[in-house]
Amino acid sequence: MFQNQGEDQIKEIINASIFSVFFIDRNQRVTFNDAGTIDKIRNFAQEQNSLIYEGVLESQFRCNGSDGYLAWLDNVLQIAETANYDGFEGDYDFKIFDNPHEMYAAIKAKNKINNKSRVLAGYCWDWPKEGRMTSLVKDIQIPEHNFGISWNLGNSDTYAIDPDSINEAGCIHTTQGLEFEYVGVIIGDDLRYENGKLIVDINKRAKTDQSIKGIKKLLKENPEEAQHIANEIVKNTYRTLMTRGQKGCYIYCTNKELSNYFKLAYNHQLSYTYNEPQVVLSEQPLAADKTNSNIDKLNLKLDK
């Protein structure tokens, strides 16, 4: 179902076509309403008596083809256990900055070469619809560093090519599916490191973020499932943002303990223990409710 119109979109695609191909990355679910799961596709296909062919894409070209970086990132974000918990080999350029100004300067320097570097950020700052005509409006504020940057303006379709986009930050909804040479990612307060554990705090998401709308209702009906989805949304968001750079990814974390955690992991100094996810999900109304196989991809071919 798209924007609450019609039936389920997967069902409609299968019904409307003789041959359907679905490419699935389980780690790119970034909204509450993302529904394209492998099980759901199978179920609708079986309802239509379709033949199902499954395959795995063995190679990937993201992040300079660095499978090690992707596996390391899955481990560090505690999305999946891999053998790369203590670092990765290769020439992928990964850096951790203690100052957002320095990270931004590094990205701007890369962007001067060919306009293929951008700043991205987690959705922890409001994105007002009104007054979106100038990047002088600094939506993203980090007061301790006197740092500010605007969310991207106007038509998001031109964000990847507009030279002025270097003055703006792209969010997950603007940049999912895009690639740049370098990205600088601001990791906000919805992900922190505390007492040896990664903490997902979905209450820190911006009130304008519609990707978590509906999770409060689910919390009352099925608390365990709500916690699972909240954990998925936040971690998958940062995994997706941190894999938009073909040659490199630079990060700044608003939570200092999280920054130190990344440093230890990157410098092969992390005594790693894979923990069950810990999620902060308030039973109070969430901001968005107030407003109206690791990197594997499954190729499902459905023949009626």
What would the DSSP string read from start to end of the chain?
Answer: -BTTBSS-HHHHHHHH-SEEEEEE-GGG--STT----HHHHHHHHHHTT-EEEEEE-----GGGG-HHHHHHHHHHTTSS--S-TT---SS-EEEEES-HHHHHHHHHHHHHHHS-EEEEE-S-S---STT-S-TTS--EEEGGGTEEEEEPPS-GGGTTT-GGGGGEEE-HHHHTT--EEEEEEEE-TTEEEETTEEEEEGGGS-TT-GGGTTHHHHHHH-HHHHHHHHHHHHHHHHHHHTT-EEEEEEEEESSHHHHHHHHHHHTT---------EEE--SSPPHHHH---TT--EEEEEE-
67-76 vs 256-266: helix axis angle to the nearest 10? Answer: 140
CA distance 132 to 150: 9
* Both tokens assigned to 135: 């990047």
Q: pLDDT value at position 302?
A: 39
Q: Which of 3, 8, 6, 4 is nearest to 35 (CA)?
A: 8
pTM for the model stands at 0.80
Place of tokens 């922890």: 124
The low-confidence residues of the chain, meaning pLDDT below 50, are 1-2, 285, 287-304
Are the CB atoms for 215 and 226 separated by under 8 Å?
Answer: yes
pLDDT of the residue at 91: 77
- Please tell me the total number of residues recorded for the chain in this structure: 304
Phi, psi (deg, nearest 5) at residue 68: -65, -45
User: Concatenated DSSP letters for 127-140?
Assistant: --STT-S-TTS--E
Q: Specify the pLDDT at position 32.
A: 61
Asked if 74 and 295 touch (Cβ cutoff 8 Å), the reply is yes
Count CB-CB contacts under 10 A for residue 216. Answer: 18
